[in-house]
């Protein structure tokens, strides 16, 4: 796990350094938008098609989806309860809720799980993302941003955001082919694997490009420390209990707990900008949870493995 995270850290650092050096005069945010657009519209759909076309889907798929949804709802609940005790401005509360509830289950979860457990873990990441995280991000996530932020007619509808989503369309096609029993041709398998191979490094570089160091203000740190504690501690602990209650065990349980321990999602920055939430605070939450994940993910991997072995 540590060696995997070290390799990931190098790619994330490359993206972070791009923001400072600006090779070719290219702005980090513009570069990130280009990379994420390529991943989201081409490479990630190829990965989704490759994985779900041949995946063994059944009752475990439903349980994985319930796990992913349960983690998100738990994050919203603990943020709302904590906000009852402390007075927060609505834009800041909305940003905190998004940063705690929604995790970077794909951009960071995919490389961590794939490199730690093998190619089979791709199925877990894709199922959590497509059947739990992504639908809730584009519905419940938008509702949270609208409720605590400012709404205007240019923000678009939730249904449109959900439907204009290439990975979801790829998932629909893959599921149709899977359930119809259509075999994946060898040439298609090689083609999809070639496209899928670029997903992980580009995701990690994009993650580094999205880290904003100018958000490190002292006024942000107290609440950010609470976000880190919830994100790195409470969420995976709840995930462990939820995973056990759903009957998961072994490496599958460990992989799910690690998904629950992932840092805050990058897309929240877009929501904060669009709905006038506290973008500076959210950017700090992403940066801190990503940095702390380098320590907390090996910890949770070790702890859950210890439960398996009875220690």
* Domains of the chain listed by start with CATH number: 2-309 (1.20.1530)
Res. 67 pLDDT band, cuts 50 70 90? very high
Non-local CB neighbours of 123 within 8 Å, separated by 6+ positions:
51, 52, 55
pLDDT exceeds 80 at position 297 = yes
Q: What is the mean pLDDT of residues 273-302?
A: 89
Closest CA to 117 of 3, 255, 248: 255
Q: What's the CA angle centered on 150, arms 88 and 206, to 5 degrees?
A: 85
Tell me the whole-structure pTM to 2 decimals: 0.84
Residue 255 CA to residue 58 CA, distance in Å, equals: 18
For position 231, what pLDDT does the model report? 96
Within 13 Å, how many C-alpha atoms sit on residue 56's CB side? 3
Residue 231 CA to residue 74 CA, distance in Å, equals: 11
Residue 251 CA to residue 53 CA, distance in Å, equals: 23
Contact 270, 142 (CB under 8 A): no
For position 210, what pLDDT does the model report? 75
Residue 155 CA to residue 137 CA, distance in Å, equals: 15
For position 215, what pLDDT does the model report? 66
Residue-wise DSSP of 267-285: HHHHHHHHHT--HHHHHHH
Q: What is the mean pLDDT of residues 115-120?
A: 90
For position 253, what pLDDT does the model report? 95
pLDDT exceeds 90 at position 201 = no
Q: Each residue of 11-55: pLDDT tens digit? A: 888 988 988 888 988 888 888 888 888 888 898 889 889 888 988
Residue 120 CA to residue 2 CA, distance in Å, equals: 20
- The DSSP output letter for 210 is T
Three-class SS of residue 264?
strand
């Amino acid at each position: 796990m540590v060696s995997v995270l070290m390799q990931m850290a190098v790619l994330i650092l490359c993206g972070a350094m791009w923001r400072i050096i600006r090779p070719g005069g290219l702005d980090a945010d513009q570069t990130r938008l280009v990379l994420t657009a390529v991943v989201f519209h081409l490479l990630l759909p190829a990965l989704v098609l490759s994985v779900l076309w041949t995946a063994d889907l059944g009752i475990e798929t439903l349980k994985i989806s319930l796990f992913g949804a349960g983690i998100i709802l738990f994050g919203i609940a603990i943020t709302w309860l904590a906000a009852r005790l402390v007075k927060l401005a609505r834009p800041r509360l909305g940003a905190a809720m998004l940063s705690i509830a929604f995790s970077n289950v794909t951009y960071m979860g995919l490389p961590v799980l794939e490199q730690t457990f093998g190619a089979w873990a791709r199925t877990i990441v894709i199922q959590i993302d497509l059947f739990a995280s992504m639908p809730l991000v584009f519905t419940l996530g938008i509702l949270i941003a609208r409720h605590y932020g400012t709404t205007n007619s240019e923000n678009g509808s939730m249904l449109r955001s959900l439907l204009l989503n290439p990975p979801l369309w790829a998932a629909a096609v893959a599921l149709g082919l899977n359930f119809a029993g259509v075999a994946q041709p060898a040439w298609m398998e090689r083609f999809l694997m070639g496209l899928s191979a670029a997903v992980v490094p580009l995701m990690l570089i994009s993650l580094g490009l999205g880290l904003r160091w100018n958000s490190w203000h002292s006024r942000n740190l107290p609440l950010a420390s609470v976000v880190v504690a919830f994100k790195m501690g409470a969420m995976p602990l709840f995930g462990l209990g939820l995973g056990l209650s759903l009957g998961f065990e072994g490496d599958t349980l460990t992989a799910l707990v690690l998904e629950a321990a992932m840092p805050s999602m990058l897309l929240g920055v877009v929501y904060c900008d669009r709905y006038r939430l506290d973008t500076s605070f959210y950017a700090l939450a992403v940066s801190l949870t990503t940095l702390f994940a380098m320590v907390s993910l090996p910890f949770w991997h070790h702890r859950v493995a210890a439960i398996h072995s009875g220690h």
